[in-house]
Amino acid sequence: MVNQTTVTEFVLLGFANLRELQILHFAVFLSIYLVALVGNVLLVTAVVQNHHLHSPMYFFLVNLSIVDACYISTTVPKSMANSLMGSKHISVPGCVTQVFLVIMFASAELFLLTAMAYDRYAAICHPLRYQLIMNWTLCFQMAAVCWVTAVIIAAVATGNTFALRFCQSNLIEQYFCDVPQLLKISCTDTSTAQSFVFASTLSLGSFCFTFIFVSYGYIFSAVFKIQSGHGRQKVLSTCTPHLTVFCLFFFTASFSYVRPKALSSPTVDLLAAVLYTVLPPIMNPIIYSMRNKDIQLALGRAMTHLPCISWVGFGEMNGKY
């Protein structure tokens, strides 16, 4: 990659240049990163430790939490390090790696959310055949397809981007190596690369969006037929978090990649990137823990086993659970 360009490193402009604001950026991002990391690790721990949560729904949720923890770790730590050290540089290999990982984890998140929609459809619309439909062989196959497809898409998109030459500017108006920003500073014709980004984002996004909302059309139709108010509430408590998480991620990511140029500006681009790279990983565990009582109970059990808090007022919780 380096031999194809005269640029040996990129400069991430990102946030403010004032030292005080850089320290503030470091503190805010550190807080967000720790909350996201702890939240997703706790969610994985809670599911693994509780055998009654060993079901397809929570299997995909564990995969989603792993993706979120890795996703936010791809961009935020580098940005924090740059702010703390007063540096904005990233090497070309580092930029290539960051682009690949961001696209891979973003694609994996979208595909896993789509797989989770099918799981909810099977559970609610075909409850008597659910165990037969969503057997563990199918679950592992679906997860493998999500991951492998995400890797392929990331490899093609990264190769497509860095096949371009960068010889006039190395200034990226973003806090990480983002494909739209890289296309802006390339000194070669980017029409083919831009068309690929637009077409791939639109086609994959449209497929997942359509699949999920058709699934939820059947789900809500089945929910309205449930006579018991308690039963209806229980079904909605498992569907609402998933639909909320999907909408949050889908619309923020779509806005970043397929928005009109008229809506593009350094501030808008930066805000959009933060929304789709930082917000979903921190919000997913919060949304699921708020709306799902099984997750709340499992998180309570998991937290009682943490050395730093197990001795602070959790004796009654242990007895209760």
Q: E strands of the chain, at which residues?
A: 9-12, 89-91, 171-172
Within 10 angstroms of residue 178's Cβ, the number of other Cβ atoms is 26
Which residues 6+ apart lie within 8 Å of 52 measured at CB?
294
Measuring CA to CA, which residue among 59, 64, 75 is closest to residue 40? 64
Taking the mean position of all CA atoms in its chain, how far away is CA 15? Answer: 22
Handedness of CA 181, 97, 176, 196 (dihedral sign): positive
CATH number for the region 2-320 comes to 1.20.1070.10
Q: Which pLDDT score, from 0 to 100, does residue 158 have?
A: 92
Q: pLDDT tens digits, residue range 114-172?
A: 999 999 899 888 888 999 999 999 999 999 999 999 999 999 999 988 888 887 778 88
Instruction: Give the C-alpha distances (Å, rounded to integers) separating 33 from 38, 98, 310.
Output: 8, 17, 23
Measuring CA to CA, which residue among 241, 220, 211 is closest to residue 64? 241
Within 10 angstroms of residue 192's Cβ, the number of other Cβ atoms is 12
Instruction: Give the C-alpha distances (Å, rounded to integers) separating 185 from 11, 141, 172.
Output: 12, 40, 8
- Please enumerate, as own/partner, the contacts of 262-270 that have beta carbons within 8 Å and a separation of 24 or more: 266/13, 266/173, 269/173, 269/174, 269/178, 269/180, 269/181, 270/14, 270/15, 270/173, 270/174, 270/175
Q: Which pLDDT score, from 0 to 100, does residue 261 have?
A: 67
Q: pLDDT tens digits, residue range 221-248?
A: 888 777 666 667 776 777 777 788 888 8
| Helix 191-223 × helix 92-125 angle, to 10° | 20
The tokens of 146 are what?
A: 């999500």
Distance, in Å, from the CA atom of 76 to the CA atom of 47, rounded to the nearest integer, reads: 26
Beta bridge partners of 9: 91
- Indicate the pTM of the whole model: 0.84
Strand order in the sheet with 9-12: 89-91, 9-12, 171-172
Tell me the average pLDDT of the chain. 82
* Domain chopping of the chain, boundaries: 2-320
